[in-house]
């Protein structure tokens, strides 16, 4: 069954969102890990870490998580319309790392 042009555009847009979610997540985690050589922010120094987290890390993580939820929601919404199972699984697979990190952070916050 051939998809309409509207559904093809939705799949392309959802694919871009999935790759953006994963890309933003990877970039944010890499910059967070190497923030001392990049910006001179030492781990353990509270004022600089607080400012860095609220100006860069938290907004980028929120965007990655939002895109991840949007991709999963759109994929589930169009599950019957989009016929390529591999494409659907790839979209969900690209979105899961950001949601998994959110879940781990929430578990870690409540377990301490």
What pTM was computed for the model? 0.86
pLDDT of residue 109: 87
pLDDT of residue 50: 87
Type and span of the H or E element at 40: none
Report whether pLDDT(80) > 70: yes
CB atoms within 10 A of CB 11: 20
pLDDT of residue 44: 78
Q: What percentage of the chain has pLDDT greater than the value 90? A: 60
| 94 pLDDT tier (thresholds 50, 70, 90) | very high
Type and span of the H or E element at 88: helix 85-111
User: What is the overall mean pLDDT for the chain?
Assistant: 90
pLDDT of residue 99: 92
33-55: b (≥16 Cβ within 10 Å) or e:
eebeeeeebeeeeeebbeebeee
Query: What's the pLDDT tens digit per position in 49-68?
Result: 888 889 999 999 999 999 99
Instruction: Bin 82: left if φ > 0, else alpha if -120 < ψ < 50, else beta.
Output: beta
């Amino acid at each position: 069954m051939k998809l309409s042009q509207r559904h093809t555009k939705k799949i392309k847009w959802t694919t871009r969102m999935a790759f953006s979610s994963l890309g933003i997540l990877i970039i944010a985690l890499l910059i967070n890990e190497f923030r001392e050589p990049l910006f001179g922010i030492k781990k353990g120094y509270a004022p600089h870490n607080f400012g860095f987290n609220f100006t860069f890390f938290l907004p980028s993580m929120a965007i990655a998580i939002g895109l991840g939820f949007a991709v999963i929601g759109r994929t589930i919404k169009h599950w019957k319309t989009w016929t390529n199972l591999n494409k659907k699984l790839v979209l969900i697979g690209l979105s899961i790392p950001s949601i998994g990190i959110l879940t781990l952070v929430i578990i870690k916050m409540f377990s301490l």
